[in-house]
């Protein structure tokens, strides 16, 4: 059963590299979209459009949070001739792909441990930089206050509740933006954060993201 997805309202392919198609798919509703790669009608791969796309951000779409990357183009052309991307909810065909779009195969082989595999999956929904995380943190701070901002920061970045010695927000700083930036930077600089996420900054669709996304995406 498909649950928690909206159909596609706006769509673009931004790059095809190797056998991966990159693009964005904005939803027709609050929930993200699901993009499906098919070959002669058979499903080959699905991708949630829950990553960050600078192109979508520049176009003012969902702050950029509707990127997808769908692997398996080479497999799709091996199976059949009619290779398409469609909306995983409505079934509407979004674009057809031809074999000459296929990029050169990637030459470097990656050997992953189980934890590397988890990190790889998290990467696709991660914030590329701190500047993509801060609007959500600021939104949370302004809507819910300092205490709840601290709790959301700990839960999102460290995966735990703040302990009694957790630092407070530095109210001597002039603006809200400065206060939350300093606070988040301190958490991200901690050893505990690096051990948990290995440097990945969680995006709004990562399980465990606790900042308020209301009226942002």
Partner 1 sequence: MTKAVLDISALFEDTWTGIPNVVAAIAQRALEDQSIEWIFAYETIPIPRSVVLDFLTRHSGMGGLPFLADAAWNGQVIAEAEAKNLVAVFPNIKPVRRYFGREAIIVHDLSPILTPEFHNSDNIFHFANRIREDVKTSDHVFCVSQATLSDVNTYFKKPVSEMSVIRLGAEFDPYELSAGLQQLRPNIQVEPYIAVIGTLEPRKNGGILFEYLMQNPGFAYQYRIVFIGRDGWLDEKTRLLHRLEGVGVSPDRVQFTGYVSNAERTALMLNAAFCVYPSFFEGFGLPILEAGALGKITVCSNSSSMPEVMPGNCVFFNPQETFEFVEAMRTAELRAAQTRSRGQSLSDLLDRTSIFGWDECYQGVAKWVREQ
Binding mask 162-201 for partner 1 (x = CB under 8 A): ----------------------------------x-----
Determine the size of the site formed for partner 1 (CB under 8 A). 46
Q: Tokens representing 157?
A: 């970045």
By CB under 8 A, is residue 80 in contact with partner 1?
Answer: no
| CB nearer partner 1, residue 41 or residue 60 | 41
In sequence order, what DSSP letters do the residues of 113-178 get, joined into one string? -HHHHHHHHHHTTEESSHHHHHHHHHHHHHHHHHHHHHHHHHHHHHSSPPPTTPPPP-TTSSSHHH
Question: Interface with partner 1 by CB under 8 A: which range of 28-36, 95-103, 167-175, 180-188?
Answer: 28-36
Continuous segment of H or E residues that includes residue 196: helix 191-197
Using DSSP, state whether 32 is helix, strand or coil: coil
User: In which residue are the tokens 């957790």 written?
Assistant: 166
Question: Interface with partner 1 by CB under 8 A: which range of 8-16, 90-98, 176-184, 207-215?
Answer: 207-215
By CB under 8 A, is residue 9 in contact with partner 1?
Answer: no
With CB under 8 A as the contact rule, the residue among 60, 100, 114, 191 that binds partner 1 is 114
Which residues share a beta bridge with 93?
86
With CB under 8 A as the contact rule, the residue among 12, 14, 55, 74 that binds partner 1 is 74
Residues 1-11 as b or e (16 or more Cβ within 10 Å = b): eeeebbbbeeb
Instruction: Give backbone dihedrals phi and psi of 87, rounded to 5 degrees, phi first.
Output: -75, 125
| CB nearer partner 1, residue 23 or residue 72 | 72
By CB under 8 A, is residue 108 in contact with partner 1?
Answer: yes
By CB under 8 A, is residue 3 in contact with partner 1?
Answer: yes
With CB under 8 A as the contact rule, the residue among 159, 177, 188, 216 that binds partner 1 is 159
Least Cβ distance, residue 114 to partner 1 (angstroms): 4
Cβ partners under 8 Å of residue 192, min gap 6: 158
Q: Tokens representing 215?
A: 């009226």
User: What residues make contact with partner 1 under the rule CB under 8 A?
Assistant: 1-4, 18-20, 31, 34, 36, 42-48, 71-72, 74-75, 88, 105-115, 117-118, 120-122, 155, 159, 196, 206-208, 210, 212
């Amino acid at each position: 059963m498909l649950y928690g997805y909206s159909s596609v309202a706006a769509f673009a392919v931004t790059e095809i590299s190797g056998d991966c198609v990159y693009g964005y798919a904005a939803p027709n509703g609050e929930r993200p979209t699901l993009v499906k790669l098919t070959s002669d009608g058979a499903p080959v791969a699905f991708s949630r459009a829950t990553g960050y796309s600078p192109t979508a951000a520049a176009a003012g779409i969902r702050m950029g949070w509707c990127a997808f990357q769908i692997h398996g183009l080479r497999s799709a052309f091996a199976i059949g001739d009619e290779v398409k991307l469609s909306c995983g909810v409505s079934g509407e065909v979004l674009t057809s792909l031809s074999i000459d779009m296929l990029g050169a195969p990637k030459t470097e082989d990656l050997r992953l441990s189980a934890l590397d595999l988890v990190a790889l999956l998290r990467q696709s929904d991660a914030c590329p930089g701190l500047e993509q995380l801060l609007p959500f943190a600021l939104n949370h701070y302004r809507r819910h206050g300092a205490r709840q901002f601290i709790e959301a920061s700990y839960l999102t970045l460290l995966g735990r509740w703040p302990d009694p010695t957790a630092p407070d927000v530095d109210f001597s700083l002039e603006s809200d933006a400065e206060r939350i930036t300093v606070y988040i930077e301190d958490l991200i600089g901690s050893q505990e954060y690096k051990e948990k996420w290995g440097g990945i900054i969680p995006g709004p669709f990562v399980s465990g993201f606790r900042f308020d996304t209301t009226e942002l995406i």
